């Protein structure tokens, strides 16, 4: 589905892996891929001014339809001129369909963290799911909402992101193959309804991504990749359960990518670990998103590369740790972010102890800058056909 | 007490009032007065990156000795190269003596707000006060501390601010004249001890302010102004109780200013209302400080001028109010801050409702920018001998 305002050009292919460089053009500008998409969950990147998000090298952000439909509502955002204008971001933007949060909240899982309210214990809010759509209760005011594929398209149209996504059912990790298969089939029917509704209003301002479901089952992934390949989606998103371990995730993504139309851009939903990104890129993934970089910042975590301190097996330093109390070096000497160019780990440690919110802001900017530098280094690695040495520098 | 690294030049005097323009030079640069000093209570301006504080036009900040002595402690700050380096601020800085918080906490008054923890109810923490100094309990870990004039000088030396302040007893509002007189006399003895200790270590990197006490009693204020005039302080700070009403405050400040050495810079402690600043300036005050502009930002308040919306008799808009839900105009069209140049009141209202901390950051930057623009306009007004028309534009 080539559109005048959108295209995706693959500008370089790795000789060794399926990694590729691309340029994804939208009405709000072009992004170089592989790229990381930062989460502006409720219409704001948590802890960072949009101006700083941009100055940190960010190409593209995403906002969550689920959160925006509940607060402040799509009609208000439309009235305010759309989400770009409302939040002061003039670059490319993606919105998801609302499905992920309805079902993750509905099944009572990762919801509280996503909503930035870790201490409360939320009750499952998904009331009913059938062929028509999903009925759920607002976590804000208890009001009942009904989300259908058509309604998701309507809301996403009112929000006005460049890249939008079909509504799907996001199944939990523990379900059986039979449920996964049935759910996938319904998600395909929802995708066709999403596509139809999208095309009915298509004015060239938005482009639609289809989602590949099928859980951890290769035969189901085959059905789902065939489905998206055969329908005129602008891009594809790898969704659904990717398994219980990193190795299983790499397998599932690899299997899926091997069967996907190689001309369309591919987004990997909700994945943002450094190692995971290297794995995804070599399998041909073009864009990633995850709350991880901004979320761990709010918990005192600074993303680092090997050689920048003991991470206790993780990919970040926990600056709340007392060992940073007198550490007068920056997180990363070579990082151009506001934290690394002006202050030390000791100061960040002090701010965290003193409960000063600017600690969280500074760490957020560091982690955004880190991810943008990481993806830039990855693009250089693909360009030079030497992703392995980039991986050695960035990956634990 | 002219020092090579410090001087204060009055560059213009109003023909109509005691208002004046000055240049106050410190080892970290020069400030134009009248000027507002922003509070970096715990070594950080709450809710704003130091880079943004600077870019918002800020000339000078202050940090609180009380908070820094408890966390992270003066020895650590000294080890990290002093407070300037620790927090990444290379401009002029003032520290107070620690007295205000000891006594306000001690008497169980405005403490919780200052500590950014409004909901808790703190017990008075002042354990003993005598000629030697004040014994109090840390609100962080309950540890006992003893602050003397000499110790305050030592801590402020380790913190390394340009302008430092003698230790005084800050009496509560309700005390009798007899107590006020006795307390003032002790504060004078403490000031002499502060001065002696300061001179013992004076290496030209810091300059000392004396404090005028005497409460609301003109005869006591006379004794206290004579005291500071007669001693070699670099500058003077008007402290102590200024009364129970704005009119009484203007009276007390006026009485005090009439008797003060007109050659030294004068700071008015803890005052930051717009109307109060106009009053202070016309009485010859050169610098002001107050947590108000940054504190109300964290409560959803945006400082505004007349004509920018109904403030319900205050000097700010409360953006939590539902009337801003669909207000797509910025707080102030003419304001160059990040909030006013990129987003609307409706978006700020949404962020406040959604509990996004960047709302508080954006409002903090707006209010800092506002105060710096206000003081700049005031300086223009003094320069043009037309402060009255500036007041009409900025004052409700």
pLDDT confidence of residue B125: 81
Nearest-CA distance B274 → chain A (Å): 26
B76 at interface of A, judged by CB pairs closer than 8 A: yes
B100 vs A2 pLDDT, higher one:
B100
**∠ at Cα B188 (B184, B191), nearest 5°?**
135
Q: Which long-range contacts (CB under 8 A, 24 or more apart) does B308-312 make?
A: B308/B332, B311/B396
Taking each helix axis from N to C terminus, what angle separates B357-383 and B345-353, rounded to the nearest 10 degrees?
Answer: 140
Residue B262: band (very low, low, confident or very high) from pLDDT cuts 50, 70, 90: very high
pLDDT confidence of residue A122: 53
CA B238 to chain centre: 11
Asked whether A276 and A246 are in contact (CB, 8 A), the reply is yes
Residue B174: band (very low, low, confident or very high) from pLDDT cuts 50, 70, 90: confident
Asked whether A24 and A338 are in contact (CB, 8 A), the reply is no
The string of pLDDT tens digits covering residues B104-140 is: 877 654 444 444 444 445 567 888 889 999 999 999 9
**How many structural domains comprise chain A?**
2
Q: Are residues A223 and A322 in the same domain?
A: no
Q: What percent of chain B has pLDDT over 70?
A: 95
Residue of B nearest to A341 (CA): B88
pLDDT confidence of residue B171: 81
pLDDT confidence of residue B112: 42
Whole-number Å distance between alpha carbons of A310 and A318: 10
Reduced to 3 states (helix: H, G, I; strand: E, B; else coil), residue A134 is strand
Q: Are residues A27 and A75 in the same domain?
A: yes
Q: Are residues A234 and A268 in the same domain?
A: yes
B79 at interface of A, judged by CB pairs closer than 8 A: yes
Asked whether B109 and B286 are in contact (CB, 8 A), the reply is no
Which CATH number covers residue B265? 3.20.20.105
Inter-chain CB proximity A358 and B45 less than 8 Å = yes
Q: Are residues A217 and A90 in the same domain?
A: yes
pLDDT confidence of residue B332: 97
Q: Are residues B320 and B360 in the same domain?
A: yes
Q: Are residues A117 and A87 in the same domain?
A: yes
What are the E-state strand segments in A68-166? 93-95, 126-129, 134-137, 144-147, 163-165
Residue of B nearest to A47 (CA): B358
Nearest-CA distance A287 → chain B (Å): 26
- Last residue in a domain, options A267, A290, A313: A290
In a domain, A49, yes or no: no
Q: Measure CB to CB from residue B51 to each of A46, A342, A357 and give the nearest one.
A: A342
Whole-number Å distance between alpha carbons of B129 and B147: 10
Query: Which residues of A are known to be catalytic?
Result: 96, 289
Average pLDDT over residues B280-308: 97
The answer on pLDDT for B394 being more than 70 is yes
Inter-chain CB proximity B49 and A344 less than 8 Å = no
B136: left (phi over 0), alpha (psi -120 to 50) or beta: beta
Asked whether B265 and B280 are in contact (CB, 8 A), the reply is no
**Chain B 25-44, residues with CB within 8 Å of chain A CB atoms:** 42-44
Q: Are residues B320 and B265 in the same domain?
A: no
pLDDT confidence of residue A109: 47
Whole-number Å distance between alpha carbons of B392 and B274: 11
Return the residue in B40, B54, B72, B82 with the most chain A beta carbons within 10 A, the one to mutate for interface testing.
B72
Pick the closest to residue B199 from B148, B233, B163, B168 (CA basis). Answer: B233
In a domain, B126, yes or no: no
Average pLDDT over residues B363-369: 98
Chains A and B: how many Cβ contacts under 8 Å? 124
In a domain, B320, yes or no: yes
pLDDT confidence of residue B116: 47
Element containing residue B44 per DSSP (H, E): none
In a domain, B170, yes or no: yes
Element containing residue A37 per DSSP (H, E): strand A35-39
pLDDT confidence of residue B114: 43
Length in residues, chain A:
396
Q: Are residues A244 and A172 in the same domain?
A: yes
Q: Return the number of other C-beta atoms located less than 10 Å from residue B48's C-beta.
A: 28
pLDDT confidence of residue B110: 45
Asked whether A251 and A219 are in contact (CB, 8 A), the reply is no
Q: Measure CB to CB from residue B44 to each of A50, A86, A351 and give the nearest one.
A: A351
Whole-number Å distance between alpha carbons of B303 and B318: 9
Q: What are phi and psi of B251, to 5 degrees?
A: -60, -50
Inter-chain CB proximity B116 and A355 less than 8 Å = yes
Average pLDDT over residues B387-395: 97
Element containing residue B268 per DSSP (H, E): strand B266-268
Contacts of B116 in chain A (CB under 8 A): 355
pLDDT confidence of residue A111: 43
The answer on pLDDT for B70 being more than 60 is yes
The answer on pLDDT for B55 being more than 80 is yes
Q: Are residues A283 and A325 in the same domain?
A: no
Nearest-CA distance A24 → chain B (Å): 26
B87 at interface of A, judged by CB pairs closer than 8 A: yes
- Give the residue ranges of chain A where pLDDT is below 50: 1-2, 109-120
- Last residue in a domain, options B258, B290, B322: B290
Q: Measure CB to CB from residue B326 to each of A47, A79, A338 and give the nearest one.
A: A79
The string of pLDDT tens digits covering residues B23-48 is: 999 999 999 999 999 999 999 999 99
The answer on pLDDT for B280 being more than 60 is yes
DSSP string covering A270-331: T---HHHHHHHHHTT--EEE-SHHHHHHHTTEEE--TTSS--TTSSEEETTSGGGTT--S-S
Asked whether A170 and A104 are in contact (CB, 8 A), the reply is yes
Whole-number Å distance between alpha carbons of B23 and B10: 6
In a domain, A391, yes or no: no
In a domain, B45, yes or no: no
Inter-chain CB proximity B342 and A71 less than 8 Å = no
pTM: 0.94
Q: Are residues A171 and A96 in the same domain?
A: yes
pLDDT confidence of residue A113: 41
Nearest-CA distance B344 → chain A (Å): 7
Nearest-CA distance B61 → chain A (Å): 16
In a domain, A18, yes or no: yes
Inter-chain CB proximity A357 and B360 less than 8 Å = yes
Q: Are residues A217 and A360 in the same domain?
A: no
- Last residue in a domain, options B257, B290, B323: B290
In a domain, B131, yes or no: no
Pick the closest to residue A27 from A68, A76, A60, A1 (CA basis). Answer: A60
Q: Are residues A320 and A286 in the same domain?
A: no
Whole-number Å distance between alpha carbons of B281 and B21: 10
**Chain A 290-349, residues with CB within 8 Å of chain B CB atoms:** 325-326, 328, 338, 342-344, 346-347
Nearest-CA distance B72 → chain A (Å): 6
Contacts of B358 in chain A (CB under 8 A): 44-49, 361
Indicate if ipTM > 0.90. yes
Could you tell me the residue range of the domain that residue A364 belongs to?
302-384
Strands A35-39 and A60-63: parallel
Pick the closest to residue A367 from A56, A44, A35, A34 (CA basis). Answer: A56
Cis preceding linkage at B236, omega within 30? no
Query: Which residues of B are known to be catalytic?
Result: 96, 289
Q: Which residues of B134-155 are buried (b: 16+ CB within 10 A; e: fewer)?
A: bbbbebeeeeebebbbbbbbeb
B47 at interface of A, judged by CB pairs closer than 8 A: yes
pLDDT confidence of residue A307: 93
The string of pLDDT tens digits covering residues A258-313 is: 999 999 999 999 999 999 999 999 999 999 999 999 999 999 999 999 999 999 99
Q: Measure CB to CB from residue A71 to each of B49, B76, B353 and give the nearest one.
A: B353
């Amino acid at each position: 589905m080539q559109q005048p305002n959108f295209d995706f050009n693959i500008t370089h292919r790795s000789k060794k892996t399926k990694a590729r460089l691309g340029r994804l053009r939208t009405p709000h500008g072009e992004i170089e891929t592989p790229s990381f998409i930062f989460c502006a969950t409720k219409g704001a990147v948590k802890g960072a001014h949009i101006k700083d998000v941009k100055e940190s090298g960010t190409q593209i952000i995403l906002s969550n339809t689920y959160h925006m439909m509940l607060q402040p509502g799509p009609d208000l955002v439309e009235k305010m001129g759309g989400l770009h204008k409302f939040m002061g971001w003039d670059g490319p933007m993606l919105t998801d369909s609302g499905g992920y949060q309805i079902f993750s909240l509905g099944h009572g899982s990762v919801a509280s963290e996503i909503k930035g309210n870790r201490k409360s214990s939320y009750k499952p809010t998904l009331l009913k799911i059938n062929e028509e759509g999903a009925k759920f209760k607002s976590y804000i005011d208890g009001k009942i909402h009904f989300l259908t594929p058509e309604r998701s398209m309507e809301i996403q149209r009112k929000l006005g992101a460049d890249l939008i996504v079909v509504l799907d059912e996001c199944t939990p990790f523990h379900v059986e193959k039979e449920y996964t298969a049935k759910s996938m089939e319904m998600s395909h029917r929802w995708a066709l309804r999403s596509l139809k509704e999208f095309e009915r209003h298509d004015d060239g301002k938005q482009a639609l991504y289809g989602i590949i479901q099928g859980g951890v089952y290769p035969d189901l992934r085959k059905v789902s990749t065939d489905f998206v390949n055969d329908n005129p989606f602008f891009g594809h998103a790898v969704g659904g359960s990717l398994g219980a371990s990193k190795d299983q995730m790499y397998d599932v993504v690899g299997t899926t990518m091997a069967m996907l139309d190689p001309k369309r851009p591919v987004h990997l939903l909700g994945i943002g670990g450094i190692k995971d990104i290297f794995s995804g890129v070599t399998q041909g993934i073009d864009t990633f998103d995850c709350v991880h970089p901004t979320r761990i910042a709010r918990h005192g975590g600074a993303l680092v590369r090997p050689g920048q301190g003991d991470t206790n097996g993780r990919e970040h330093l926990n600056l709340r740790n007392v060992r940073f109390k007198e550490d007068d070096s920056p997180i990363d000497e070579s990082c151009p972010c506001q934290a690394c160019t002006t202050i030390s780990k000791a100061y960040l440690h002090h701010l965290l102890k003193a409960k000063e919110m600017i600690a969280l802001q500074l760490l957020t900017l560091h982690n955004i800058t880190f991810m943008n530098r990481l993806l830039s280094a990855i693009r250089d690695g693909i360009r030079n056909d030497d992703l392995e040495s980039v991986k050695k520098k960035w990956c634990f």
